[in-house]
Amino acid sequence: MPTLLFTHSACVQHDTGEYHPESSDRLRAILHVLDHQDFFYLLREQAPRATDEQLLRAHTRAHIDHILSSVPTGDDIHEIDSDTFISRHSGEAALRAAGAVVAAVDEVAAGRCRNAFCAVRPPGHHAEPGEAMGFCLFNNVAIGALHARAVHGYQRVAVIDFDVHHGNGTQRILWDVPGTFYASTHQVDAFPYSGMAEETGGAGIVVNAPLAASSGSETFREAWAGTILPRLREFAPDFLIVSAGFDAHAADPIAHLRLHVSDFEWLTRELAEIARQTAGNRLVSVLEGGYDIRALAACVAAHLRVLMGG
């Protein structure tokens, strides 16, 4: 079965302002590299809008209304917080980003594709139930995970996060949701300064493996192979959702881990194998961070080659 790509032009049009690291160039670079002949058999779909019902599984009514009512109608860029900015296409982009993950879950659940990748922005894993932060407006992966449970009845949904920043929003949303598993590696002294090992969840399972600045391949792989992956296998997910941030790459300008393309490729293989063993290959991957354009494009290409069976 094929791998399915969800994206939308609104995600490129989301303008965060000059010099902002979470820029449209990120997605342009990814889509450019996916024009390579290696991705000829990658199916491509336009992301639909998320509905209120889908958003409300992860966010408060007040938060949704605040984000969408704050979108400017002209060419101004509005500040949500010191890191998070919106422009006239940002509301549409945020709805399409969340909608992409929901649609990807639907397609994978129906067996119409092996797995899916959502090339979307704004990213989502910092967005909390009632607060946008860290470049994120809606929590795309949490919305997808809760949709998988509510609509398709999956009982053991795992969200796996290898972004260099801890997914505080995802952790908070899933903390008390039974039948969920959230795991993350991240730089310990980086924004949002959460994700300590002692944060282990409520009704849901949380596994954090914080890494010291300047950690490289060996430390990263040891954290996954020695701590997170055994717990994930024990959980035996019936659906996997991946927060695929590539800002732990050594070239990334806003963090200080020292990973390489081969590390992300290795972890993708490990996750795909667990999905094969326990979840009938059901896996949806969602773009989060990654701010060196060339490194980001190379990492996404490697990630997708594995998902496509390469």
Contact by Cβ (8 Å): 125, 243:
yes
Q: CA triplet 20, 243, 56: central angle to 5 degrees?
A: 90
* pLDDT tens track for 22-36: 999 999 999 999 999
Task: Point out the residues that are catalytic.
Answer: 126
What pLDDT does residue 1 have? Answer: 86
Contact by Cβ (8 Å): 226, 197:
no
Q: Strand 157-161 vs strand 180-187: parallel, antiparallel, or unpaired?
A: parallel
What pLDDT does residue 310 have? Answer: 60
* pLDDT tens track for 3-16: 999 999 999 999 99
1 vs 115: CA distance, rounded Å: 9
> Is residue 221 over pLDDT 90?
yes
Q: How confident is the model at residue 235 (pLDDT cuts 50, 70, 90)?
A: very high
Overall average pLDDT of the 68-94 stretch: 96
Q: Kindly list the structural domains of the chain, giving each domain's residue range(s) and its CATH number in brackets, ordered by start.
A: 3-307 (3.40.800.20)
Overall average pLDDT of the 111-120 stretch: 97
Overall average pLDDT of the 94-106 stretch: 98
How many C-beta atoms lie closer than 10 Å to residue 80's C-beta? 18
* pLDDT tens track for 166-191: 999 999 999 999 999 999 999 999 99
Contacts of residue 296, Cβ cutoff 8 Å, sequence gap at least 6: 26, 29, 30, 246, 249, 290
